[in-house]
Every structure is written in structure tokens, then in C-alpha cells.
């Protein structure tokens, strides 16, 4: 199946720095989702976006639904060590069961 | 909060065994999904169900079957386990429309 292009593939940053990652698609979606996955755990939903142009925050996280409906970005401000993990974007088109198309993931590592 | 519970976190089985992975959700969601996650391949959809006793194949259904006799429970069955089915298995559920999928903690399955 299709995977969305997510960049960067991995990031190594210092605690306190801001992080930005993005996700692009060749097709449009009507929902964009961002998940975080810790090693050995299942993905946890961070932010859901439902409208083109929408900007949504969840604590230090901010995500935007691209105006073309083909992209989304996630920013993390003032990173802390527990931000370490893999971040996945996912696009959803409302239809039968609304299957997800996932990004390739961004691995974030934070140093003190 | 949505709770998706997978019956085992770790499971070791032998080649040729019939293996059952169980998933239960407590939010009366219509839709449930089974994925496997492998390094470099991302999350791949095996099967999904949009109602009791209804099921549809995902991207990689070969070697698997599913059962949904009750709304809250979705079972993944490996009819005759093989070593190439060693993987992390993730269950997810969602309500209808634009609502996001919520994942369980995963089952790391090893087939020896």
C-alpha cells in the first residue's frame, strides 16, 4: 500500500530546541492525524486535524492541515527528553471504515 | 479516554500452530482494524471490520483470518503460523466518519 512521504527521517536535537517535521501526499485527505510511538508500544494519537488550513495545538505540539489537503506539519516547541520516539503522520479519507495511509515516520532523539 | 486492549504483549508460538490474537475496545466503536508493523515496511493493514460479523481484507490478508462476533471484540487468527509472521501486531478501533483510530499497546509475536 501507499506510504506518505515524511521528513526528516530522523532528527537528533538538544533539549530545549524546537522541532519541525512534515508529511506530503500525492492525493488529498479530509483528515490528518499525528501519532507518537514509543519503543515496544502502540501509536498514541497526538493531534487530529479536520479542515484545510486548520492549526491545532496540544500543549507544546502544534500541527497544521495544509491548504491543498495534501500535506501537514507538526512542530514541537522546547523539546524535552520524553519527546523521544517515532512520530507518524496519517491521512484519512472518510469512506468505508476510513482506512489510514501512514507516513514513513520521523525518529526523534533528544540529548540533554 | 478510549481503551483498546490487546490480550498479550508478548507471545511465542511454534511453526504450524494456530494462533489467536484478541483485541477488545470499550467505546462501542463500529470499526476495528488489525495491522502488522515491521522495520522498514511501516504499518500494514491486514483486515478490518466495520460491523459485527462484517470483515474486509486489507493490504496483506494472506495467511490470516479474523472474527468479529461481538462489537467490542476483534480477533486475528493465524491459521498455520510461519516464521515470516513474526512481527508486532497492532489493533485499532474508531467510531464512524472522520474520527481517528485509536491503537492498543501491541502484541510482539515470535514464531519459532
- Hey, how many other C-beta atoms are within 10 angstroms of the C-beta on A3? 15
Residue A90, beta-bridge partner list:
A33, A102
Gap between the terminal Cα atoms of chain B: 37
3-state secondary structure of A96: coil
Q: Does B66 touch chain A (CB under 8 A)?
A: no
Q: Position of cell 475496545?
A: B25
Taking a C-beta distance cutoff of 8 angstroms, is the pair A1, A100 a contact? no
Q: How far is B84 from chain A (nearest CA, A)?
A: 19
**Inter-chain contact B108–A48, Cβ cutoff 8 Å?**
no
**Inter-chain contact A94–B97, Cβ cutoff 8 Å?**
yes
Mean pLDDT computed over every residue of chain A: 92
Q: What digits encode the pLDDT tens for the residues B4-58?
A: 999 999 999 999 999 999 999 999 999 999 999 998 888 999 999 999 989 999 9
**Inter-chain contact B48–A97, Cβ cutoff 8 Å?**
yes
Q: What pLDDT score does A3 carry?
A: 81
- In degrees and rounded to multiples of 5, residue A83 shows phi and psi of -75, -10
For A9, name the nearest residue in chain B, comparing CA atoms only. B40
Per-residue pLDDT 10s for chain A (112 aa) are 678 999 999 999 999 999 999 999 998 999 999 999 998 899 999 999 999 999 999 999 999 999 999 999 999 999 999 999 999 999 998 765 578 999 999 999 988 7
Chain A window 42-101: which residues touch B at a Cβ cutoff of 8 Å? Answer: 42-45, 48, 50, 88, 90, 92, 94, 96-100
**Inter-chain contact A97–B45, Cβ cutoff 8 Å?**
no
CA angle, residues B75, B15, B54, in degrees to nearest 5: 20
Q: Does A39 touch chain B (CB under 8 A)?
A: no
**Inter-chain contact B108–A40, Cβ cutoff 8 Å?**
yes
Q: What is the DSSP letter of A77?
A: -
> Mutate which of B101, B103, B104, B105 to disrupt the A interface (most A C-beta within 10 Å)?
B101
Q: What pLDDT score does B102 carry?
A: 95
Please name the member of B45, B97, B101 whose beta carbon is closest to the beta carbon of A1.
Answer: B45
Burial B30-50 (b: 16+ CB within 10 A, else e): bbbbbbbbeeeebbbbbbbbb
Amino acid at each position: 500500500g501507499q506510504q506518505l512521504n515524511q521528513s526528516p527521517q530522523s532528527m537528533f536535537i538538544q533539549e530545549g530546541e524546537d522541532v519541525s517535521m512534515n508529511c506530503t501526499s500525492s492525493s488529498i485527505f479530509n483528515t490528518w492525524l499525528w501519532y507518537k510511538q514509543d519503543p515496544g508500544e502502540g501509536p498514541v494519537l497526538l493531534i487530529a486535524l479536520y479542515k484545510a488550513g486548520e492549526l491545532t495545538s496540544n500543549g507544546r505540539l502544534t500541527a497544521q492541515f495544509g491548504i491543498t489537503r495534501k500535506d501537514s506539519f507538526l512542530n514541537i516547541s522546547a523539546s524535552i527528553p520524553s519527546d523521544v520516539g517515532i512520530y507518524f503522520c496519517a491521512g484519512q479519507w472518510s469512506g468505508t471504515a476510513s482506512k489510514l495511509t501512514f507516513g514513513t515516520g520521523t525518529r526523534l532523539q533528544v540529548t540533554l | 479516554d478510549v481503551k483498546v486492549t490487546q490480550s498479550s504483549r508478548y507471545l511465542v508460538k511454534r511453526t504450524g500452530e494456530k494462533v489467536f490474537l484478541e483485541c477488545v475496545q470499550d467505546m462501542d466503536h463500529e470499526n476495528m482494524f488489525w495491522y502488522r508493523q515491521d522495520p522498514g515496511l511501516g504499518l500494514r493493514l491486514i483486515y478490518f471490520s466495520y460491523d459485527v460479523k462484517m470483515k474486509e481484507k486489507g493490504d496483506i490478508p494472506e495467511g490470516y483470518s479474523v472474527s468479529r462476533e461481538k462489537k467490542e471484540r476483534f480477533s486475528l487468527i493465524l491459521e498455520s503460523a510461519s516464521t515470516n509472521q513474526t512481527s508486532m501486531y497492532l489493533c485499532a478501533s474508531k467510531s464512524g466518519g472522520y474520527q481517528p483510530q485509536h491503537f492498543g499497546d501491541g502484541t510482539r509475536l515470535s514464531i519459532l
